[in-house]
Protein backbone atom coordinates (compact mmCIF):
# COMPACT_ATOMS: atom_id res chain seq x y z
CA UNK A 1 0.00 0.00 0.00
CA UNK A 2 1.34 3.42 -0.95
CA UNK A 3 2.18 6.02 1.65
CA UNK A 4 0.02 9.15 1.76
CA UNK A 5 1.31 12.71 1.84
CA UNK A 6 -1.00 15.66 2.39
CA UNK A 7 -0.33 19.14 1.03
CA UNK A 8 -2.54 21.83 2.53
CA UNK A 9 -2.99 24.82 0.28
CA UNK A 10 -3.47 24.50 -3.48
CA UNK A 11 -1.84 27.77 -4.44
CA UNK A 12 1.39 27.96 -6.40
CA UNK A 13 3.64 26.49 -3.71
CA UNK A 14 1.21 23.76 -2.69
CA UNK A 15 0.24 22.71 -6.21
CA UNK A 16 3.85 22.67 -7.42
CA UNK A 17 4.82 20.63 -4.35
CA UNK A 18 2.04 18.15 -5.17
CA UNK A 19 3.31 17.93 -8.75
CA UNK A 20 6.90 17.27 -7.69
CA UNK A 21 5.77 14.65 -5.18
CA UNK A 22 3.52 12.90 -7.68
CA UNK A 23 6.43 12.73 -10.11
CA UNK A 24 8.52 11.10 -7.35
CA UNK A 25 5.95 8.26 -7.51
CA UNK A 26 6.50 6.94 -3.98
CA UNK A 27 3.23 8.11 -2.38
CA UNK A 28 -0.32 9.14 -3.14
CA UNK A 29 -0.98 12.83 -2.62
CA UNK A 30 -3.92 14.64 -1.05
CA UNK A 31 -4.20 18.30 -1.99
CA UNK A 32 -6.47 20.33 0.31
CA UNK A 33 -7.81 23.84 -0.09
CA UNK A 34 -10.66 25.84 1.38
CA UNK A 35 -11.69 27.10 -2.09
CA UNK A 36 -14.24 24.71 -3.57
CA UNK A 37 -12.98 23.14 -6.78
CA UNK A 38 -9.44 24.55 -6.69
CA UNK A 39 -7.69 21.50 -5.25
CA UNK A 40 -10.02 19.14 -7.13
CA UNK A 41 -9.23 20.75 -10.48
CA UNK A 42 -5.48 20.80 -9.96
CA UNK A 43 -5.51 17.22 -8.68
CA UNK A 44 -7.41 16.02 -11.75
CA UNK A 45 -4.96 17.84 -14.00
CA UNK A 46 -2.04 16.19 -12.20
CA UNK A 47 -3.62 12.73 -12.41
CA UNK A 48 -4.09 13.18 -16.14
CA UNK A 49 -0.38 13.97 -16.43
CA UNK A 50 0.56 10.52 -15.08
CA UNK A 51 0.29 8.59 -18.36
CA UNK A 52 2.53 11.13 -20.10
CA UNK A 53 5.14 11.67 -17.40
CA UNK A 54 5.02 8.07 -16.25
CA UNK A 55 3.88 7.98 -12.63
CA UNK A 56 1.21 5.91 -10.89
CA UNK A 57 0.71 8.22 -7.90
CA UNK A 58 -2.91 9.26 -7.39
CA UNK A 59 -3.63 12.88 -6.49
CA UNK A 60 -6.85 13.61 -4.62
CA UNK A 61 -8.18 17.16 -4.41
CA UNK A 62 -10.57 17.99 -1.59
CA UNK A 63 -11.91 20.44 0.98
CA UNK A 64 -12.59 17.52 3.37
CA UNK A 65 -9.83 16.60 5.83
CA UNK A 66 -11.16 13.07 6.24
CA UNK A 67 -9.43 12.28 2.95
CA UNK A 68 -6.09 13.10 4.60
CA UNK A 69 -6.42 10.42 7.30
CA UNK A 70 -3.26 8.45 8.14
CA UNK A 71 -0.89 10.69 6.18
CA UNK A 72 2.79 10.05 6.80
CA UNK A 73 3.67 13.71 6.19
CA UNK A 74 1.58 16.89 6.19
CA UNK A 75 2.95 19.92 4.35
CA UNK A 76 1.31 23.22 5.32
CA UNK A 77 1.50 25.93 2.67
CA UNK A 78 -1.77 27.71 3.53
CA UNK A 79 -1.80 31.42 4.12
CA UNK A 80 -1.57 34.76 2.45
CA UNK A 81 1.37 35.31 0.11
CA UNK A 82 3.52 38.39 0.38
CA UNK A 83 2.92 41.30 -1.97
CA UNK A 84 5.51 43.93 -2.93
CA UNK A 85 6.24 46.11 0.07
CA UNK A 86 4.69 43.63 2.51
CA UNK A 87 6.98 42.23 5.19
CA UNK A 88 6.64 38.72 6.55
CA UNK A 89 5.68 40.28 9.87
CA UNK A 90 2.58 41.81 8.26
CA UNK A 91 1.30 38.31 7.65
CA UNK A 92 1.50 37.29 11.28
CA UNK A 93 -2.05 37.64 12.59
CA UNK A 94 -3.99 36.26 9.61
CA UNK A 95 -1.64 33.39 8.90
CA UNK A 96 -1.58 32.45 12.58
CA UNK A 97 -5.33 31.87 12.40
CA UNK A 98 -5.07 29.93 9.15
CA UNK A 99 -2.17 27.71 10.24
CA UNK A 100 -3.80 26.96 13.59
CA UNK A 101 -7.04 25.89 11.91
CA UNK A 102 -5.51 23.65 9.24
CA UNK A 103 -3.03 22.09 11.66
CA UNK A 104 -5.79 21.14 14.09
CA UNK A 105 -7.83 19.56 11.30
CA UNK A 106 -4.89 17.63 9.85
CA UNK A 107 -3.49 16.46 13.21
CA UNK A 108 -6.84 14.99 14.20
CA UNK A 109 -6.84 12.84 11.05
CA UNK A 110 -3.12 11.92 11.10
CA UNK A 111 -1.87 11.85 14.71
CA UNK A 112 1.39 10.12 13.75
CA UNK A 113 2.31 12.45 10.89
CA UNK A 114 5.36 14.67 10.54
CA UNK A 115 4.42 18.30 9.86
CA UNK A 116 6.48 20.51 7.55
CA UNK A 117 5.52 24.16 7.80
CA UNK A 118 6.01 26.41 4.76
CA UNK A 119 3.61 29.26 5.58
CA UNK A 120 5.10 32.64 6.49
CA UNK A 121 6.34 34.08 8.72
CA UNK A 122 7.89 30.62 8.78
CA UNK A 123 9.53 30.32 12.19
CA UNK A 124 6.59 31.86 14.01
CA UNK A 125 4.15 29.58 12.16
CA UNK A 126 6.17 26.57 13.34
CA UNK A 127 5.27 27.59 16.90
CA UNK A 128 1.62 27.78 15.90
CA UNK A 129 1.66 24.31 14.30
CA UNK A 130 3.57 22.86 17.26
CA UNK A 131 1.02 24.16 19.74
CA UNK A 132 -2.03 23.36 17.61
CA UNK A 133 -0.95 19.78 16.84
CA UNK A 134 0.34 18.79 20.27
CA UNK A 135 2.94 16.69 18.45
CA UNK A 136 6.43 16.07 19.87
CA UNK A 137 9.01 18.59 18.71
CA UNK A 138 10.75 16.02 16.48
CA UNK A 139 7.65 15.85 14.27
CA UNK A 140 7.16 19.57 13.64
CA UNK A 141 9.70 21.45 11.52
CA UNK A 142 9.88 24.27 9.03
CA UNK A 143 11.14 24.58 5.47
CA UNK A 144 13.37 27.61 5.16
CA UNK A 145 17.02 26.74 5.42
CA UNK A 146 17.01 24.39 2.43
CA UNK A 147 15.48 27.13 0.27
CA UNK A 148 17.71 29.94 1.55
CA UNK A 149 20.80 27.73 1.24
CA UNK A 150 19.84 26.84 -2.34
CA UNK A 151 19.70 30.53 -3.21
CA UNK A 152 23.07 31.13 -1.52
CA UNK A 153 24.64 28.17 -3.34
CA UNK A 154 23.22 29.34 -6.66
CA UNK A 155 24.78 32.78 -6.31
CA UNK A 156 28.13 31.31 -5.24
CA UNK A 157 28.13 28.96 -8.24
CA UNK A 158 27.31 31.81 -10.61
CA UNK A 159 30.12 33.91 -9.17
CA UNK A 160 32.68 31.15 -9.70
CA UNK A 161 31.30 29.62 -12.87
CA UNK A 162 31.12 26.16 -11.31
CA UNK A 163 28.45 23.48 -10.93
CA UNK A 164 25.93 24.11 -8.17
CA UNK A 165 26.38 20.46 -7.22
CA UNK A 166 29.91 21.20 -6.02
CA UNK A 167 28.91 24.14 -3.81
CA UNK A 168 28.16 23.54 -0.13
CA UNK A 169 26.67 26.30 1.97
CA UNK A 170 24.36 26.68 4.95
CA UNK A 171 21.95 29.49 5.73
CA UNK A 172 20.81 29.46 9.35
CA UNK A 173 18.55 31.55 11.56
CA UNK A 174 15.09 32.93 10.98
CA UNK A 175 13.56 32.96 7.52
CA UNK A 176 13.76 36.69 6.92
CA UNK A 177 16.09 39.63 6.55
CA UNK A 178 18.20 38.52 9.54
CA UNK A 179 19.02 35.05 8.16
CA UNK A 180 22.67 34.04 8.43
CA UNK A 181 24.53 32.66 5.38
CA UNK A 182 27.42 30.85 7.09
CA UNK A 183 30.47 31.74 5.03
CA UNK A 184 32.86 29.84 7.30
CA UNK A 185 31.21 26.52 6.35
CA UNK A 186 30.77 27.32 2.65
CA UNK A 187 33.05 25.64 0.14
CA UNK A 188 33.42 24.46 -3.43
CA UNK A 189 34.44 20.80 -3.59
CA UNK A 190 36.04 21.29 -0.18
CA UNK A 191 37.82 24.57 -0.98
CA UNK A 192 36.63 27.38 1.34
CA UNK A 193 34.87 30.13 -0.61
CA UNK A 194 36.99 32.72 1.16
CA UNK A 195 39.96 31.39 -0.81
CA UNK A 196 38.06 31.85 -4.06
CA UNK A 197 35.97 35.01 -3.70
CA UNK A 198 37.08 38.42 -2.40
CA UNK A 199 35.40 39.59 0.81
CA UNK A 200 33.53 42.44 -0.86
CA UNK A 201 32.00 40.10 -3.43
CA UNK A 202 31.17 37.57 -0.71
CA UNK A 203 29.38 40.32 1.19
CA UNK A 204 27.31 41.18 -1.86
CA UNK A 205 26.39 37.52 -2.37
CA UNK A 206 25.40 37.18 1.29
CA UNK A 207 23.15 40.24 0.97
CA UNK A 208 21.54 38.89 -2.20
CA UNK A 209 20.86 35.55 -0.50
CA UNK A 210 19.23 37.31 2.44
CA UNK A 211 16.93 39.16 0.05
CA UNK A 212 16.39 36.27 -2.36
CA UNK A 213 12.68 35.94 -1.70
CA UNK A 214 12.05 39.67 -1.89
CA UNK A 215 13.94 39.83 -5.20
CA UNK A 216 11.57 37.29 -6.74
CA UNK A 217 8.52 39.09 -5.32
CA UNK A 218 9.71 42.39 -6.80
CA UNK A 219 10.18 40.83 -10.23
CA UNK A 220 6.86 38.98 -10.25
CA UNK A 221 4.95 42.00 -8.93
CA UNK A 222 2.11 39.69 -7.87
CA UNK A 223 2.75 36.55 -5.87
CA UNK A 224 6.00 35.07 -4.63
CA UNK A 225 8.45 32.26 -5.37
CA UNK A 226 7.18 28.70 -5.71
CA UNK A 227 9.53 26.62 -7.89
CA UNK A 228 12.46 26.75 -5.46
CA UNK A 229 10.30 26.55 -2.31
CA UNK A 230 8.50 23.45 -3.59
CA UNK A 231 11.82 21.84 -4.56
CA UNK A 232 13.12 22.50 -1.05
CA UNK A 233 10.03 20.91 0.53
CA UNK A 234 10.41 17.80 -1.59
CA UNK A 235 14.07 17.40 -0.65
CA UNK A 236 12.94 17.30 2.99
CA UNK A 237 10.11 14.86 2.19
CA UNK A 238 12.57 12.59 0.34
CA UNK A 239 14.78 12.50 3.43
CA UNK A 240 11.85 11.49 5.64
CA UNK A 241 10.19 8.97 3.33
CA UNK A 242 13.46 7.21 2.49
CA UNK A 243 14.99 7.63 5.97
CA UNK A 244 18.04 9.19 4.36
CA UNK A 245 19.49 10.82 7.51
CA UNK A 246 20.25 13.93 5.42
CA UNK A 247 21.93 16.88 7.10
CA UNK A 248 19.72 19.78 6.06
CA UNK A 249 19.09 23.24 7.51
CA UNK A 250 15.53 23.27 8.85
CA UNK A 251 13.56 25.27 11.39
CA UNK A 252 13.60 23.12 14.52
CA UNK A 253 12.71 23.71 18.16
CA UNK A 254 15.97 24.37 19.99
CA UNK A 255 16.61 23.37 23.56
CA UNK A 256 19.73 25.33 24.42
CA UNK A 257 21.76 24.70 21.27
CA UNK A 258 23.63 27.82 20.13
CA UNK A 259 22.49 29.44 23.38
CA UNK A 260 18.90 29.53 22.09
CA UNK A 261 16.07 27.88 24.01
CA UNK A 262 12.42 27.08 23.27
CA UNK A 263 12.45 28.69 19.85
CA UNK A 264 12.08 27.44 16.27
CA UNK A 265 15.17 28.60 14.36
CA UNK A 266 16.89 27.33 11.22
CA UNK A 267 19.79 25.03 12.11
CA UNK A 268 21.40 21.92 10.58
CA UNK A 269 19.44 18.79 11.51
CA UNK A 270 19.64 15.10 10.74
CA UNK A 271 16.39 14.40 8.92
CA UNK A 272 15.04 10.87 8.69
CA UNK A 273 11.90 8.79 9.18
CA UNK A 274 11.53 10.08 12.73
CA UNK A 275 11.61 13.68 11.62
CA UNK A 276 14.27 15.77 13.36
CA UNK A 277 16.52 13.02 14.68
CA UNK A 278 19.41 15.23 15.74
CA UNK A 279 20.28 18.92 15.88
CA UNK A 280 23.88 19.60 14.89
CA UNK A 281 25.70 22.38 16.72
CA UNK A 282 28.33 23.88 14.44
CA UNK A 283 31.42 25.61 15.81
CA UNK A 284 30.50 29.00 14.36
CA UNK A 285 32.75 32.01 14.25
CA UNK A 286 31.97 34.60 16.91
CA UNK A 287 30.27 37.05 14.52
CA UNK A 288 28.20 34.26 12.94
CA UNK A 289 27.03 33.03 16.34
CA UNK A 290 26.11 36.57 17.33
CA UNK A 291 24.21 37.01 14.07
CA UNK A 292 22.36 33.72 14.63
CA UNK A 293 21.30 34.82 18.11
CA UNK A 294 20.22 38.20 16.73
CA UNK A 295 18.14 36.41 14.11
CA UNK A 296 16.61 34.24 16.82
CA UNK A 297 15.77 37.44 18.68
CA UNK A 298 13.70 38.57 15.70
CA UNK A 299 11.79 35.29 15.82
CA UNK A 300 11.30 35.72 19.57
CA UNK A 301 9.71 39.12 18.96
CA UNK A 302 7.09 37.54 16.69
CA UNK A 303 6.40 34.76 19.16
CA UNK A 304 5.99 37.33 21.93
CA UNK A 305 3.57 39.33 19.75
CA UNK A 306 1.51 36.18 19.14
CA UNK A 307 1.43 35.42 22.87
CA UNK A 308 -0.46 38.68 23.32
CA UNK A 309 -3.09 37.80 20.71
CA UNK A 310 -6.43 36.19 21.61
CA UNK A 311 -6.22 32.46 22.20
CA UNK A 312 -7.31 30.19 19.33
CA UNK A 313 -9.56 27.20 19.89
Of the residues 58, 127, 175, 242, only one is catalytic, namely 175
pLDDT, position 223: 83
pLDDT, position 313: 80
Output the CA–CA distances (angstroms, integers) from residue 96 to 93, 115, 309, in the order listed. 5, 16, 10
pLDDT, position 89: 62
Backbone angles phi, psi at 31, to 5 degrees: -110, 120
Terminal alpha carbon distance of the chain: 35
pLDDT, position 82: 62
With a CB cutoff of 8 Å and minimum separation 6, the contacts of 296 are 173, 174, 254, 258, 260, 263, 265
pLDDT per position as a tens digit, 10-31? 999 999 999 999 999 999 999 9
pLDDT, position 93: 85
The counts of H helices and E strands in the chain are 10, 12
Q: Which residues of the chain have pLDDT under 70?
A: 81-90
For the whole model, what pTM was predicted?
0.96
58 given a catalytic annotation: no
Dihedral class, residue 267 (left if φ above 0, else alpha if ψ from -120 to 50, else beta):
beta
Q: Domains in the chain and their CATH numbers?
A: 3-142 (3.40.50.720), 145-306 (3.90.110.10)
pLDDT per position as a tens digit, 150-185? 999 999 999 999 999 999 999 999 998 899 999 999
Amino acid sequence: MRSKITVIGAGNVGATTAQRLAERDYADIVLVDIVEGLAEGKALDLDESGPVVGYEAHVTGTTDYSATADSQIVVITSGLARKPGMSRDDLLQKNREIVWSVTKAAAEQSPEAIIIVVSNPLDAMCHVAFEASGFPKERVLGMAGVLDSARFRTFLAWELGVSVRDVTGFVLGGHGDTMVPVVSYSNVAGVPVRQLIPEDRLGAIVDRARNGGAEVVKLLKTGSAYYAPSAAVVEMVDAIVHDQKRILPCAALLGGQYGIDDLFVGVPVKLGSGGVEQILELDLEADELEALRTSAGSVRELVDVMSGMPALA
